Amino acid sequence: MKTLQRTVAAEEAGLRLDLFLSRSVEGLSRSAADKWIARGLAVKDGRPLAKSYRCERGDVIEIGIPDPVPPKVSAQKIPLDIVYEDDDLLVVNKPQGMVVHPAAGHADGTLVNALLAHCGDSLSGINGVLRPGILHRIDKDTSGLLIVAKNDFAHRRLAAQIKDHSFTRVYEAVVHGTLRQDEGTVDAPIGRHPVNRKKMAVTDRNSKNAVTHYRVLERYRGFTHVRVRLETGRTHQIRVHMAYLGHPVAGDPLYGPKKRAPGLAGQCLHARVVGFRHPRDGRYLEFTSDLPAYFTDFLKRLSPL
């Protein structure tokens, strides 16, 4: 069982405990929070809290997160765009709209379902049955390149490269507005949003360092086409950092403006390049994915400055 520690902020004082828990744990409903409280999983100063407890500013509450009971993930014959494959790994070009691994509301039709059909038992088990072989993920509506490990040896070697920032990850995006600088770096820590638990935010609380480098490729009326290189890989990092600059990714339903860019079903964000040292022999491999049709079609509709 994992434990999450949360400190009650000033704006959260007075909240019912079940509401506080549902805001603290992504995907947790209030009814599920009630059950966790009844099991004694919300603790303050070593003592379980009652359902009727009202949170006070500065409270440090430990939340026990039960280990999930992993469902059986079925193999499904879903077409895969495999850019590279050998005995240790695959590089897959994921389309926009495909979820990477099963989760609430997405039990099948995911990349993992397709990988199980393609690879059978030949996938790393380090991340468990729900995420076999998955080293890093990209959001459902982000397209582009992902690396999948076929065995634990490859998984550990590749994960070490991600950790020491020697893993190359380059994206292209279209963002709202006109970026004035031709290039720049955003060095701002990212953590869970203090109120909306579905979002991440630039914050100093319970955050991790995050560094994003960007370069302008083309400016259009109302939009800018950029190339982005990740130095770190935090959840929603590009989407959060570009919104932090005041230039959210076009089509982003979570961080963008309420009035979405026309013709986009999700954020206009594509994982264009991945590069890494092969886990077996150390040679450097780099792969590039062409911009998909949804991305190029959107660019064609824009008017250059």
pLDDT tens for 11-51 read 999 999 999 998 888 767 788 899 999 999 999 999 999 98
Q: Which residues are catalytic?
A: 139
Give the pLDDT of residue 83. Answer: 98
Q: Quick check: 168 pLDDT over 90?
A: yes
Q: Looking at domain 170-271+295-301, what is its CATH homologous superfamily?
A: Pseudouridine synthase (3.30.2350.10)
Give the pLDDT of residue 126. Answer: 83
- The pLDDT confidence band at residue 190, using thresholds 50, 70 and 90, is very high
Mean pLDDT of the residues in the chain:
93
Task: Output the 3-class SS for the chain.
Answer: CEEEEEECCHHHCCCEHHHHHHHHCCCCCHHHHHHHHHCCCEEECCEECCCCCECCCCCEEEEEECCCCCCCCCCCCCCCCEEEECCCEEEEEECCCCCCCCECCECCCCHHHHHHHHHCCCCCCCCCCCCCCECCCCCCCCEEEEEEECCHHHHHHHHHHHHCCCCEEEEEEEEECCCCCCEEEEECCEEECCCCCCCEEECCCCEECCEEEEEEEEEECCEEEEEEEECCCCCCHHHHHHHHCCCCECCCCCCCCCCCCCCCCCCCEEEEEEEEECCCCCCEEEEECCCCHHHHHHHHHCCEC
Q: Which fold has domain 73-163?
A: Pseudouridine synthase (3.30.2350)
Domain assignments of the chain as residue spans, ordered by start? 2-65, 73-163, 170-271+295-301
Q: Which fold has domain 2-65?
A: 3.10.290
